Structure 1
Amino acid sequence: MDFTLSSQGESYRRRIREFVEAELIGLESDPGSYDEHENIAEPLLQSLRAKARAQGLWCLQMPRERGGQGLRISEMAACYEEMNRSIFGPVVFNSAAPDDGNMMVLEKVASAAQKERWLQPIVDGKVRSSFAMTEPAPGSGSDPSMMLTRAERQGKEWVVNGTKHFITGAGIAAHFILIARTSDDSRKGLSAFMFHRDDPGWEIVRRIPIMGPEEHGGHCELRFDGLRIPDENRLMEVGDGLKLTQIRLGPARLTHCMRWLGLAKRSLEIAGEYVSRRESFGQRLAEREGVQWLLGEAAMGIQVGRLLTMHAAWQLDQGNYARKEVSMAKVTVSETLHKAVDTAIQLCGARGYSKDTRLEWIYRYARQARLVDGASEVHKMVLSRNLLAEGNDFWHWGS
């Protein structure tokens, strides 16, 4: 397991770091850079996306023949970490959730015709997308078997009725992946479909207010009341909806980790700069032992998270599912992000708690990390089941 980046991976990592430093970091302190939901304003975003595309930094995760850069997952890990050194970074490079995960799963499972219609416009940056799976209680959350939204077959169409909520990006998405129940089979009861925002028979009930800054399009509640989807817009086979979610969520969880590590490192960067120049009682804060302990512990946690993330990425590059490795990275990195930014705020004092730095933005954003794509407790349950089933083989070396 050699985690040394290839010359290609290192070149992209360096170029992305330079782009972030030159084009993005300075914009974060300008109130005019933000929209009403604390994300980068759309006109500014489009101009920066054009620059990223012109510099060959667009869609790292997609094949070159589709307009991307064709990076391996381990190469993406280093680059995603660099791009989320800025809170604006991932969306500029077309590598932000949920488009990131949607593009990767469509590239893997969609037919050629479906890729041309549904995937390519996302890759080209012409539309945004959303993944509609989570439901309000008593429907499905972390347990897809509880799904209540149903798709009933009527001739060559499927008629969908039900409710989804906390659907990220739905407010501006044009292309949707929908997971719905098509039978009561415990393993093959879910199927996946594509639909367009202009299709009749569904609505956005509300954009759900959250404590943190939002992704573009927010987190929305959707109601389906007779949405008709042609069977040609079904992804994979009938009953393969759970399989599709598993294909999508593994890499998508890991790309979350890659991005979160960038935010964690940025938090310590802000804190490190502050404690290096701030003095109290005749001594710089960075010279105080208690401050050094806090920084050292946070730095060590980030490095542990990086190693877990890169190991999982390496496993995926070998063609393995890496379910254990992704779960361990997801739990560790989500908690590490929260720890890193909390430490940074503590060290920066009132300045860290204010909007004079990006720390308060990152702090509010970080709290969702332990919830999205499976709460930490759910992943720990999965790891426990694996441990009990595998015994000492849980820790085996190799692929």
Structure 2
Amino acid sequence: MSTDMNARTTGGPAQGPDDVPDRVRALRARVKEFVVDLVEPAEPVLHEGGPEADVLMGRLQRQAREAGLWAIGHPEHLGGGGLPFLDYVHVNEVQGRSEFGQVALGTFTLQDSLMLDRYASEEWREKYLRPIVEAEFWPSFAMTEPGIAGSDPTRLRTSAVVDGDAWVINGRKWFTTGAQHARYTTVMVRTETDAPVHESFSLIIVPTDDPGYRIVRDTPVLGMASDHCEVAYEDLRVPLANTLGPRGAGFRIAQERLGPGRIFHAMRWLGQAQRAFDLMCHRLNQREAHGSRLADKQLMQQHVFDSWTEIQSARLMTLAAARRMDAGDQARVEIGALKVAGARVLHDVVDRALQVYGAEGLTDDTPLSRMYRAARLARFYDGPDEVHIQSVATRLLRGYDAGREWDFGDR
């Protein structure tokens, strides 16, 4: 591994960002230290997968528990740390430096635990809630389908019909992340035939060991195995009690799941972008070419300037959206905008870092090649850029059409 990879900042400001509350500053610093010192060095083995990776991840999870850093974003009554939403947003930023940070620290199941905590029956709360917080097994979530525009979930075709006291599910989903590891999948299916389209879908909990649940493949993404599985549902029977929330409420529950999730995504992207920024700056200071350090060349300095301003802008945008959401606002304009902006910033910063590293950046000697591929995916999942752009612009223009101007100072 390149020596650049392990370079640590020894100078510069002693404080973190001014917007980090004092009550969470020390915890955020501890999480960052855990990710940088323990998780990032483990990435080459974790990427390989297999028994050695499982053992190593188990060790990291034990270390997180021993350090008091386990599941800190989960509600306290579920065995988590009970960290408030806004505080967790700040921690999620440094946790996101590594794609394995969530798993090592026990927060990768947070969206699922919050969803189950609010909507699951007592049976499923008892069977799944605490075990997923303890990382005894993985959950998964299935919405997207092959052959259907993921940006328009009203066209989903996977269906469930009632047969006695059971649902019978047929259809096919893909990009079900982690399905091959999961104990269950929460699947979005069409259940209502006469209801308005946004009340036609329900969420149903499906155990993955059911004979009607068949993993077709781990879908390769940009040349890599991805853990994004294609799954066939073939006359799969589950009890009606497996319905998550009311029948026909699938869209509403999914949106509740996605709102905070987009904030979490954006903060993790910022963590990745900041890691790429660190790598780029260390490289510029250490590398010489054509008679001087790369850091002394104006075009390279432009890369630093552009990356810093973009990260800072996206960061402030994300925190502003998080504050509005914490205050009870759906913040749809802010969240749609930061989803697009955050993914773009991640892509552009990693792209510049790759350019600074040259050929080495394309190898697995740095994390940048994997980060670059992940950055490209970010422009698709939780809705493609184009849909969010259209949605945000439509909301803004509708307000002006009704005589309301957007007051940037009052947001």
Q: How would you bin the TM-score normalised by the shorter chain?
A: over 0.9
Give the distance between the partners of 1:53 and 1:213, measured in 2 at CA.
31
Partner of 2:145, secondary structure, is coil
Give the distance between the partners of 1:237 and 1:395, measured in 2 at CA.
38
Q: Determine if contact 2:353/2:368 at 8 Å carries over to the other structure.
A: yes
Shift of 1:323: 1.8
Partner of 2:74, secondary structure, is coil
TM-score (norm 2): 0.90
Q: Do residues 44 (structure 1) and 59 (structure 2) align?
A: no
CA RMSD of aligned residues (A): 2.1
Shift of 1:142: 1.8
For structure 1, which runs of at least 5 residues remain unmatched after alignment?
none
Q: Which residue of 2 aligns with 1:55?
A: 67
Q: Which residue of 2 aligns with 1:197?
A: 208
Q: Which residue of 1 aligns with 2:47?
A: 34
1:87-102 paired onto structure 2 within 5 Å: 87-96=99-108, 99-102=109-112
Q: Which residue of 1 aligns with 2:14?
A: none
Q: Determine if contact 1:136/1:165 at 8 Å carries over to the other structure.
A: yes
For structure 2, which runs of at least 5 residues remain unmatched after alignment?
1-16
Aligned length: 390
Q: Which residue of 1 aligns with 2:77?
A: 65
Q: Indicate the larger mover: 100-109 or 173-182.
A: 100-109
Q: Do residues 86 (structure 1) and 86 (structure 2) align?
A: no
Q: Do residues 313 (structure 1) and 328 (structure 2) align?
A: no
Given the superposition, is the C-alpha separation of residues 277 and 259 from structure 1 closer, same or farther in structure 2, using an over 3 Å criterion? Answer: same
Query: CA offsets per residue over residues 45-65 of structure 1, 9 Å max, x none?
Result: 111011112212122221112
Q: Do residues 179 (structure 1) and 217 (structure 2) align?
A: no
Shift of 1:105: 2.0
Q: Determine if contact 2:273/2:349 at 8 Å carries over to the other structure.
A: yes
Give the aligned residue type for 2:303.
L
Give the aligned residue type for 1:281.
H
Match of 1:301 among 297, 305, 310: 310
Match of 1:354 among 342, 356, 363: 363
Given the superposition, is the C-alpha separation of residues 235 and 3 from structure 1 closer, same or farther in structure 2, using an over 3 Å criterion? Answer: farther
Shift of 1:389: 1.5
Partner of 1:349, secondary structure, is helix
Query: CA offsets per residue over residues 15-71 of structure 1, 9 Å max, x none?
Result: 10121232123333xx4443249x992211111011112212122221112111112
Give the distance between the partners of 1:140 and 1:356, measured in 2 at CA.
36
TM-score (norm 1): 0.92
Identity %: 36
Partner of 1:387, secondary structure, is helix
Q: Determine if contact 2:106/2:134 at 8 Å carries over to the other structure.
A: no
Q: Which residue of 2 aligns with 1:18?
A: 33
Q: Do residues 108 (structure 1) and 118 (structure 2) align?
A: yes
Q: Determine if contact 2:272/2:346 at 8 Å carries over to the other structure.
A: yes
Q: Which residue of 1 aligns with 2:173?
A: 164
Give the distance between the partners of 2:154 and 2:395, measured in 1 at CA.
20
Given the superposition, is the C-alpha separation of residues 169 and 266 from structure 1 closer, same or farther in structure 2, using an over 3 Å criterion? Answer: same
Give the aligned residue type for 1:16.
V
Shift of 1:154: 1.7
Given the superposition, is the C-alpha separation of residues 48 and 118 from structure 1 closer, same or farther in structure 2, using an over 3 Å criterion? Answer: same
Given the superposition, is the C-alpha separation of residues 377 and 200 from structure 1 closer, same or farther in structure 2, using an over 3 Å criterion? Answer: same
Give the aligned residue type for 2:96.
N
Match of 1:131 among 118, 138, 141: 141
Given the superposition, is the C-alpha separation of residues 176 and 393 from structure 1 closer, same or farther in structure 2, using an over 3 Å criterion? Answer: farther
Shift of 1:265: 0.6
Give the aligned residue type for 2:398.
A
Shift of 1:395: 4.0
Give the aligned residue type for 1:194.
I
